[in-house]
Structure 1
Amino acid sequence: MAPLPPPDPLPEFVYKITPTAPPDPIPEQYPLSDLDRQDGFIPITADLFFKDFTSFYILKLRLANFDQSSVKWDEVDGTNGCPHLYGNFGVKDVVAAKEFRRAEGQSWKDVFEREKGWLE
């Protein structure tokens, strides 16, 4: 399958989900998880890979900090809006980190809808 072209305009931020609190301070080179090594960094994959979790952290990363040749785009809802970042990131790339929690019976989509401002 041929890679998709990036969206135009590019988003300012991309997001990294992690099941535990990020290291404090965030290191120069963030430790890669098994999923990262296998898939790249996937934004908003909560319902796919974190559906059984009731909480996790999201790191907000500035997309412009990455060499765009290391970013591959997947289709999401008919658009090429899902970046996979291949390579690593560190403290210079992280704009913010936040814990997200959901109540029993609540979907991650509902949680993200409430947090739209932070996720923009």
Structure 2
Amino acid sequence: MAPLPPPSPLPEFVYKIAPTAPPDPIPEQYPLSELDQQDGFVHLSVSWQIPITAGLFFKDTQSFYILKLRLANFDPSAVKWDEVDGTNGCPHLYGNFGVKDVVAVREFRRGEGQSWEEVLEGEKGWLE
């Protein structure tokens, strides 16, 4: 992973895909996934990356949850924009997030033979 400068303008929101429903209520410190613990940062996406991330890492999953996080809540030095597999600027949060950062949570499901890209195509308003 090579660090990149942050995008300009910065997006208002970044997103965390979770394979299961988040805790209810969402805690002050969100429980980190094994991957996030192992890598030392929280894997996030910007809106246009969600279908790509879902297609790569959730291709065998029929449903997942997306947590919508307000980027301005994080110290800019805690968010690194890394190049991953040629993808420009994947946001990685070196720290954690919690209830104060979560703007919304939604479950997404796909039907038989449906791609995540097809499911998420109609969600451009929510995925800002």
- TM value normalised by structure 2: 0.85
- Contact kept, 8 Å, 2:29 with 2:96, in 1: the verdict is yes
> For residue 19 of structure 1, what is the aligned residue in structure 2?
19
Q: How far off is 1:23 after superposition?
A: 0.8
Structure 1 residue 6 corresponds to structure 2 residue 6: yes
Give per-residue Cα distances to partners, 1:75-94, cap 9 Å, x unaligned.
Answer: 48x77342111210000000
Structure 2 residue runs of 5 or longer lacking an equivalent are none
- Contact kept, 8 Å, 1:41 with 1:86, in 2: the verdict is no
- Contact kept, 8 Å, 2:4 with 2:89, in 1: the verdict is no
Residue number among 58, 77, 93 corresponding to 1:50 in the alignment:
58
Once the two structures are overlaid, the 10-residue window that deviates more, 57-66 or 80-89, is 80-89
Residue number among 79, 89, 102 corresponding to 1:94 in the alignment:
102
Q: How many residues align structurally?
A: 120
- Contact kept, 8 Å, 1:58 with 1:99, in 2: the verdict is yes
Give per-residue Cα distances to partners, 1:3-51, cap 9 Å, x unaligned.
Answer: 1000000000000010111111100000001122234323222112111
The one-letter code matched in structure 1 to 2:44 is I
Structure 1 residue runs of 5 or longer lacking an equivalent are none
- Secondary structure of 1:80's aligned partner: strand
Q: How far off is 1:104 after superposition?
A: 1.6
- TM value normalised by structure 1: 0.90
> For residue 112 of structure 1, what is the aligned residue in structure 2?
120
Task: Report sequence identity in percent.
Answer: 83
- Contact kept, 8 Å, 1:19 with 1:57, in 2: the verdict is yes
Structure 1 residue 60 corresponds to structure 2 residue 76: no
Q: From the two aligned structures, give the one with the greater helix fraction.
A: 2
